Amino acid sequence: MKQNARILVVDDEQDLLEILKFNLETEGYEVVTAPSAEDALQLDIASFDLLLLDVMMGGMSGFAMARQLKDNPATAPVPVIFLTARDTENDTVTGFNLGADDYISKPFSLREVMVRVRAVL
């Protein structure tokens, strides 16, 4: 595991942002949160070691954001884990086709998220 890895969590559910931020920081990660894809895209995405990205948000979807990041050589190498209530096979396949490193369906166990984050990093 990369020590002091920087993780960007993008989700429009404030409670979820706070829970993930707290738990990831407890594991020793540096965590930045954004309530929308638009806000996240204002940040220096290439400076992060991992993105945790919700799919269904107001405005730009997580899928659209991931497509934009994977098309940009500066941000393409940043791993993406989708965290989403969209859990059909088609959604999962779409996520992986967009370059996702993992796909976690909501509701999820925090322990599972922590293990998967560690695995991707």
Residue given tokens 């497509």 in the structure block = 67
Going residue by residue through the chain (121 aa), what tens digit of pLDDT does each one get? 556 899 999 999 999 999 999 999 999 999 999 999 999 999 999 999 999 999 999 999 999 999 999 999 999 999 999 998 888 899 999 999 999 999 999 899 999 999 999 999 9
Task: Report the interhelical angle of 62-71 vs 89-97 (nearest 10°).
Answer: 20
Overall pTM surpassing 0.85 (yes/no): yes
Contact predicate 80/99, CB 8 Å: yes
Q: Domains in the chain, start-ordered, CATH in brackets?
A: 6-120 (3.40.50.2300)
CA distance readout (Å), 87 to 47, 95, 119: 29, 10, 21
